[in-house]
Amino acid sequence: MSNFSERESEVLSLVAEAKCNKEIARTLGVTERTVEFHITNIFKKLGLGSRMEAALWLKEQERREKQE
């Protein structure tokens, strides 16, 4: 996941765990607005439009890494 900043990677992992923005913000010690900013950047980088698509993308990447 080299396309992402460390924080974006953390946010993406929490999105994949079905955490809401408020939970992600609390976990990372940031504001909900900051979480929204990172999610927007993640969606742009992946060309996706939903949390579900992002979560599925991450799971697929993890599956591929395990196969290598």
* CB neighbours of residue 49 within 10 Å: 10
Domains contained in the chain, CATH given: 6-67 (1.10.10.10)
Per-residue pLDDT for 3 more than 60?
A: yes
Residues 37-60 have a mean pLDDT of 94
In order of 14, 22, 42, the CA distances from 33 in angstroms are 15, 9, 14
Identify whether the C-beta of residue 31 lies closer than 8 Å to the C-beta of residue 62. no
pLDDT digits (tens, 9 = 90+) for 5-22: 999 999 999 999 999 999
pTM: 0.88
pLDDT for res 43: 95
